[in-house]
Every structure is written in C-alpha cells, then in structure tokens.
Amino acid sequence: MRIRKFLGTLWIFLCVYVCMCLGRTVVLYGPVDKRQFFHFCLKSLALHMLFIFIVEGVFVNILKINAIMLICRLYPKNIIR
C-alpha cells in the first residue's frame, strides 16, 4: 500500500514537473523542438533531485539522531542490557 501511494505521488510530481518545465522553456526560449525541451527538462530535473536528496538526507539524519536520543532517555535500562 505504501509503495502504491509513493508511486502515485511520484507520478503526480513528474506530471506537474514536466508541465512546469514546458512552461519555463517556452517562456525562456519561445517555441522549442522536442530535443531541446527534453534536454532542458532532464538537466533541470537532475539539479532539483540532487538538491532534494541532499536536503532530505540531512533532515532524515537529524530526525534519526533525535529519535535515538529520545529512546535512550525513555528506556535507558533496556538499552544498556
């Protein structure tokens, strides 16, 4: 169920992203051919994904550290054993 929800969210994200890239490409360059549009879209997508992975990785690691510290405070005897 979680995988299906994730794929649905990913599909919506990709559709919106392609529409945004198309709009931005047409505004910046005027009418474009398919090759130029896909090159711009892939380059832009790669940069956005890199940024998202870096930010998400840092955020998730901070959450994991906070969760581990909270568990250690709540159940110190169980962890020592």
Per-residue pLDDT reduced to its tens digit, 4-46:
777 777 777 777 777 776 666 666 666 667 777 777 777 777 7
pTM over 0.85? The answer is no
Query: Under a CB-based contact definition with an 8 Å cutoff, are residues 25 and 37 in contact?
Result: yes
Whole-number percent of the chain with pLDDT over 90: 0
**Cα 1 from Cα 8, distance rounded (Å):** 11
Please report the pLDDT score of residue 45 as a whole number: 73
Buried b (16+ CB within 10 A) or exposed e, 29-50: eeeeeeeebeebbeeeeeeeee
